[in-house]
Homo-oligomer: A and B are copies of this chain.
Amino acid sequence: MRKIKESSTHFANKNSLGDICPEIYAINLLSGQWTLAICCHLSNGKLRFGELKKRIPQVTERMLALQLRKMEEDQLVIRTVYPEVPPRVEYELTESGMELIPIFKQLEAWGERHKSRL
Instruction: Name the CB-closest residue of B to A76.
Output: B114
Instruction: Name the CB-closest residue of B to A5.
Output: B58
| Contact (Cβ within 8 A) A104 B37 | no
Residues of B within 8 A of A17 (CB): 33, 37, 58
Within 8 A of B (CB), among A48-71: 57-58
A27 touches B (CB below 8 Å)? yes
| Contact (Cβ within 8 A) A107 B22 | yes
Residues of B within 8 A of A29 (CB): 114
What is the distance, in angstroms, from A42's C-beta to the closest C-beta of chain B? 14
| Contact (Cβ within 8 A) B22 A111 | yes
A117 touches B (CB below 8 Å)? yes
Residues of B within 8 A of A108 (CB): 21-23, 26
A binding-site residues for B, Cβ under 8 Å: 4-5, 8, 10, 13-14, 16-17, 21-27, 29-31, 33, 36-37, 40, 57-58, 75, 96, 99-100, 102-115, 117-118
